[in-house]
Amino acid sequence: MNETRFNFLLRSLRFDDHTTWNARMKPDKLAPWRNTWECFLDNCQKNVPGNAITVDEQMDGFRGRCPFRYYMRNKPTKYGIKINMACDARNSYMLNGIVDLAKHRRPQVVPGKLEEYYTMTLTEPNVNSNRTITVDNCFTSLSLVKELYKMNTYLIGTSRMKGYVPKIMVDKKFSRPVDSSIFLFHEKVSMVLFKPKKNKIVLLLSSKHNFSAIGERNKPEAIHFYNKTKGGVDVLDMMCARTDVFSGSQDEQDA
């Protein structure tokens, strides 16, 4: 196939009826791609994940016209479509995903409950199975940890200094010596404050670790578990970047 023929087919390719876009896009901005996206998710959810699942966000590069395109300056791909995703922490296989439609979200999410909505929705097919969900501080909240624990599902994730953090944690976050930890336990939830460097702290919430065990390099066991299981979505993102169908694989570029 020559390049002219390929470009013609690419411009002509459609996945649904274009004549009904206007009516369907009023309630759903993802309408032109919704059916294909749902079929893709159905196939992803046929996979049986391991004991640990990672929930994080993925940025798919896109600079075209789109009402829910994001700009995130701390990402390698600064412009694109953000997908909140759940992946198997062991092999980075995608299990579920929600395209973030920003202000066009349906249903509208209550402010302050966005992390709970995404985490609960993404992991719904795999709750009540004694699995562990690993998230970063964008998806962590104390109420979410407790809610998942009631559903026989553990959650571990980093957290910001929010209102539920005790005053002792806030006051002593930088006065502690390097490689030291503070543990707090309450109603099956543990909170760990670890200081790996002079001007850096890590605050972690976990319903899986209800003990103050210290592992290698003076790090709490909860920190080791988090580091081991946090990269499920990041690894998938890296693999997608290396096999980009528009720019060619990394091996092809090197050649």
* pLDDT at residue 39 in the model: 92
Q: How far apart are CA 13 and CA 7, in angstroms?
A: 10
- Least-confidence region, from 66-80, 108-122, 223-237, 240-254: 240-254
What is the pLDDT confidence band of residue 1, given thresholds at 50, 70 and 90? confident
What's the 3-state SS for 156-220?
EEECCCCCCCCHHHHHCCCCCCCCEEEEEEECCEEEEEEEEECCEEEEEEECCCCCCCECHHHCE
User: Is 0.85 topped by the overall pTM?
Assistant: no
* pLDDT at residue 244 in the model: 65
pLDDT digits (tens, 9 = 90+) for 5-61: 999 988 888 777 777 777 777 778 888 788 889 999 999 999 889 999 999 988 888
Domain definitions of the chain by residue range? 18-126, 137-229
Q: How far apart are CA 129 and CA 154, in angstroms?
A: 10
Q: What is the residue-averaged pLDDT of the chain?
A: 84
The pLDDT of 63-87, averaged and rounded, is 86
The pLDDT of 81-103, averaged and rounded, is 91
Residue 111 predicted with pLDDT over 80: no
Residue whose C-alpha is closest to residue 156's, from 187, 131, 134, 186: 134
Residue 141 predicted with pLDDT over 90: no
Higher-confidence position of 173 and 230: 230
